[in-house]
Structure 1
Amino acid sequence: MIGPSGAVRVLVATKPVDFRKGAEGLAALVREEMRADPFGGAIFVFRAKRADRIKLIFWAGTGLCLYAKRLEEGEFRWPKVQDGAIRLTAAQLGALLEGLDWRRVHRSQRTRTPLAAG
């Protein structure tokens, strides 16, 4: 997947939202519900009541982008419904968008650099 690097912040709204909302309506939810800046460079992820739909908004420098996807088969794996938001890594976001279980994607372990050869 061509997409965000490891340095991007990804915030997932854990409560389902009204999927009739467009980019501006979702940006208002980011400000009001998530207490975040929708133009700050993070990716904000939203779910519908039906678990097979997802929307993302992010600021691309010249405009607010809206990405929407509906799975033809299966469901997206979502965190437990509650108030607030959770953070994902770029790799976890990639897995979520593919319909995979993003909870199985973990950060790589830091490899120690050898001090000497052999």
Structure 2
Amino acid sequence: HMDPRRSALYLFCGKRCDRVKALLWENDGFVLLYKRMEVKGRFRWPRSSQEVRQLIWQQFDWLMSGLEIEQPKAFKTP
């Protein structure tokens, strides 16, 4: 129930969790980005709609690096 034309980056992941597609709306159309894990690993992806959430840029960076989006030992922004 989200509007894809609002200012947000939407992420989608397949069953194997080794590929991510990102959809971004710009004023004149959509931008589609695709990332595939080259190393043996998986993106840490939500398994149900209850686990879907908004991410800050730092969490997005961790996700794209193959890390968990929660890093308990990371520095907290003030």
Please tell me the TM-score bracket, short chain as reference. Answer: 0.7 to 0.9
User: Higher strand share goes to which structure?
Assistant: 2
Match of 2:37 in 1: 71
Which of the pair has the greater relative contact order for Cα pairs under 8 Å at 6+ separation? 1
Residue 21 of structure 1 aligns with which residue? Answer: none
2:68 matches 1:101? yes
CA shift for structure 1 position 107: 4.6
Displacement of 1:41: 0.6
Displacement of 1:91 = 1.0
Structure 1 gaps, min length 5: 1-34, 111-118
What is the root-mean-square deviation of aligned Cα atoms in Å?
1.7
- The TM-score with structure 1 as length reference comes to 0.56
Bigger-Rg structure (1/2):
1
Indicate yes or no: 2:54 matched with 1:90. no
Q: Which amino acid aligns with 1:67?
A: L
Q: Using structure 2 for the length normalisation, give the TM-score.
A: 0.81
